[in-house]
Structure 1
Amino acid sequence: MGKINDSKPTASCSGCFAWGLLPGRFCRGCYTYGQQHAIGECVGCRRQVPVDEKYGYCRLCRAQATWAIKASGKASVIEPYLRQVTWQQLFFANLQRPKNGGPRVGKPGRRVLKMPLLPEPHRVTTTSTQLTLFTVTRDFRRFDRELHADPANPWLIRARQAARALGEARGWSRWITSDVNRALVIVLSGFREGESIRYSELFPALRVRGLPVVRIAEVLDRLGLFTDDRVPAVDRWLERKLDGMPPGIHRAVEASVRTLLDGGPRSEPRSRHTAWAYLGEIQPVLLEWSSRYDHPREVTREDIIAVRDAVTGKQRQSRIVALRSLFRHAKKNGQIFRNPTIRIRVPRQTGGVLQALVQADIDEAIATASTPDIRLIVALAAVHAARPKMIRTMQLDDVDLGNRRITVGGHVRPARLRHRREDRHPLGSF
């Protein structure tokens, strides 16, 4: 009889109609009953199924008669109850024997089977366990090899085997392998089952000895013995920037900055430099408001205009953009009732008039461009206004000699390409 697959859907047995997980068309009881008896017409239910030779009843009718005997509360022979079967009580399959083994379910009055006792050497004994009252941080800096080293510790042996396999895969030198073994002896000599080693415990002890912290953490993590309790750098940065603000402003600003960093519902994450710039720009303003207000909803339109007019130039626009981002997020998440930055404009800054270079500046640039690569950079910047990033990312395929074209910053431009040295401009021609 095959093993029952837990992923197989439930079904009804073709023999006794029992419902459950079946190994095939029949439950285990009907399969065994069919192996022991021939097929015939059941006296009780008139079906063509395996029946016993003595009484002529199928397994379903015999099960119904057995349940009638149990309901009567007294032991009896089965034949009178077989004749009284006029209906069938359906049941679930595989209830006659526990799923994971164990004694059979016997009839009332049958002696209960006793489990054999284990031999004396294999008897299981239960020992007491000391519960953890509190956790003390280990100080591996006090490790003394002569006093504390335990090369026989099973966890140290396993860690050395894992480090050896990892070193072979990563190509560690014998110096790195030696440092890793030294660090494992320090960390795992006194290790016990169920403990965990934290990063805050590893770093001070290994760094002062010049041992590799990252590699040790990787080996311990492979064995499931490592806990990284480091606080993310962004959390430390936020806590430092928001220090001194009341809880209401603190929560609103932190939620806005984390949305910029990680994104949110219908909001894509922004660059980390954007979040740094926004918070750096408005932090002095928030600290000034914190002395008067406890929540962003108390900030008025006049406050926004005042902090806008307190600065000039590009900083004025940057401050308004950062405040708009903060209050827009607070309004979207129901932290404020009204956005005070709405319809506050920043006057457009008039740019300076571009002045033409004088001949002295041009001559100085030509004299400085003494090598071919510098000449190329100056020509791209002067003729095609290529920015530094465009010049750094240019490839040889961007120059099309046959069609006299050049691609700068994704834009194809016509170029005057000359190869003869005697008629070439000192800066080249592009």
Structure 2
Amino acid sequence: MMREFGKPLDLAGANRDGQQLFFAGMSFRRDTPRPPRTNPVPQPSSIQMTAGDQHVLFGVRRDLAAHGRAGLPQPPDPIRAAELDRYARDHAALHGWTPRTTDDTCHGLRILLGLQDDSNAPIQASDVITLQGIELPVWAVLEILTAAGALEEDRTPTFDVWFERNIAGLPDTMLGELCTWFDIMKNGCPIPPRRRPRTQGTIRLLLQWALPALRTWAAAGHDSLREISRTTILDTLPPSGNPRAEAGQGLKSIFIVLKGQKVLFTNPMARLKTGFTEARQPLPADVAALREAINSPAPAQALVVALIAFHALSPRQLRVLQLTDIRDGRLHYAGRVIVLAEPVQNRLRAYLDYRNTRWPNSLNTYLFLHYRTAARTIPVGQRWIKLTIGPGLTATSIREDRILDEARATDGDARRIVDLFGLSIQAATRYTSTVDDPQLVNLATADS
């Protein structure tokens, strides 16, 4: 029952047909019109309320798996839904998506628009993830929303989740100090002392090397790294070898960054020698397994292994190779021109035939594809390279075998190895120093 202005509330009449909840001030009406403002305050363009919208009191995470695909509300703004549907179908046709992927993507977009509290607000990425419960392509919906500028990224990066999980259990003060170090290492620092951002692999290694000492100090009752002295560090470090060198590198990184940010007054690791990590000696690969992989009937496996075995390409280089990097039997990469060996060219032709037959409409410009990247424009992942090489071999072992063979063939000519494989002098010396090793000579002779 609606209340009429100027009349008192009829409680008996209201209880007869049900009750209406009112919030204070919502039904207030000014008797005299408000004078216009001389300088109206513009509203943000991202907040646009239509007649059918209402403010959100609190958000609730939807469980789509409990409802299924049917019975969900329709989009409150049909015009926006139609525009997004048309954009998705044009994008899908351009990138060669299958009809099923296209239809499922459009269906997922309609579901997300129907669940929105504000029909004009961007869709949150965490809401898109809920489409997994009803088996809709999350990656495709995210790609459409990103391309259309209708996505709000509210997910915590997986790297941040990994960091929080590994430092869990440490004292609160120490956690804050480590978060400062992590932020500087990940994003860099533009003000003195300046630092360039480090790769995720470097940050992972340094934290893993330092964590045993950090947990030992926390268990001993230390709440902050300000309490750590040089004596405490010497009592905690391993006695010698690679464990001591690795722990020293991790702790030095943390203390140097925190001292530079004035979180610590002193750096107890200053001028503390912990040694250097000993390089692992490169060894020849299993020749039988290598021959089997190079002659594999799978075109992708044969080409990946051949590129490593003949030209010592790293997994990172393989992942980012473009179709245009290979011209006239030569590989052009990072300023280097590599003349492809004839066995590599044969396997390259076989793979390109397979690629054009398997994904004829793909717009992905990277050389290597699989079923998930063919409809997108991203490179394959590190895991795909590992799985493609197959069991019994790794990219590192194949690459080391190739460089070792070149070192033996040139009698340890470091300059030749540097020019041929793009290594540094220090990295090349790691291979040339093994030329006269009798154990490696015997292994090479047995394999051949």
TM-score (norm 2): 0.49
More helix by share: 2
Rg larger for: 1
Equivalent in the alignment of 1:178: 103
State the aligned residue count: 266
Q: 2:226 aligns with which of 297, 302, 305?
A: 297
CA distance in 2, matches of 1:392, 1:212: 46
Q: Secondary structure at the match of 2:197?
A: coil
Tell me the residue number matched to 2:256: 328
Structure 2 segments unaligned to the other structure (5+ residues): 1-37, 39-49, 296-305, 311-400, 433-443
Is the 2:209–2:250 contact (alpha carbons within 8 Å) kept by the matching residues of 1? Answer: yes
Query: Contact 1:160–1:181 (CA<8 Å) still a contact in 2?
Result: yes
Tell me whether 1:214 sits opposite 2:139 in the alignment.
yes
Q: Distance in 1 between matches of 2:273 and 2:63?
A: 58
Do structure 1's residue 166 and structure 2's residue 192 form an aligned pair?
Answer: no
Task: Tell me, yes or no, if the aligned pair for 2:177 and 2:258 is still in contact at 8 Å.
Answer: yes
Deviation of 1:156 (Å) = 2.3
Q: 1:349 & 1:142 partners in 2: Cα distance?
A: 54
Tell me: CA distance 1:139–1:208, structure 2 relative to 1, closer, same or farther (3 Å): closer
RMSD: 4.6
Aligned to 1:382, which of 383, 386, 408?
408
Query: What's the CA shift string for 1:313-358, capped at 9, x where partnerless?
Result: 1111121122222112222222222221123223679999x9xx9x
- Map 1:15-414; keep pairs closer than 5 Å: 130-143=54-67, 147-148=71-72, 150=74, 153-189=78-114, 191=116, 193-204=119-130, 206-264=131-189, 265=191, 266-291=194-219, 292-308=221-237, 310-346=238-274, 377=402, 379-384=405-410, 385=412, 394=421
Q: Partner of 1:148: helix, strand, or coil?
A: coil
- Asked if 1 retains the 8 angstrom alpha-carbon contact of 2:125 and 2:155, the reply is yes
Q: Give % identity.
A: 23
> Structure 1: how far apart are the matches of 2:419 and 2:199?
22
8 Å contact from structure 2 (residues 258, 264) kept in 1: yes
Superposition deviation, residue 260 in structure 1: 2.2
Alignment CA distance shift 1:163-1:294 (3 Å): same
Contact preservation (8 Å) 2:74, 2:111: no
Which amino acid letter does the alignment assign opposite residue 185 of structure 1? R
Q: Given residue 131 of structure 1, which amino acid in structure 2 is its aligned partner? A: H
**TM-aligned CA distance change 1:146 to 1:319, over 3 Å:** closer
Aligned equivalents of 2:137, 2:52: Cα separation in 1: 39
Q: How has the CA–CA distance of structure 1 residues 255 and 170 changed in structure 2, closer, same or farther, with 3 Å as cutoff?
A: same
- What CA deviation, in whole Å up to 9, does each residue of 1:164-219 have, x standing for no partner? 22123323232222222332333334545234432222223x22333211221233
Partners of 1:139 and 1:201 within 8 A in 2: no
CA distance in 1, matches of 2:261, 2:55: 45
For the structure 1 residues 161 and 274, does the alpha-carbon distance in structure 2 shift closer, same or farther, using more than 3 Å as the test? Answer: same
Q: Matched residues in 2 for 1:323 and 1:199: separation? A: 36
Q: Is the 8 A contact 2:74 2:110 kept in 1?
A: yes
CA distance in 2, matches of 1:184, 1:157: 10
Counterparts in 2 of 1:155 and 1:144: CA distance versus 1, 3 Å: farther
Give the Cα–Cα distance (whole angstroms) in 1 for the partners of residues 53 and 112 of structure 2: 24
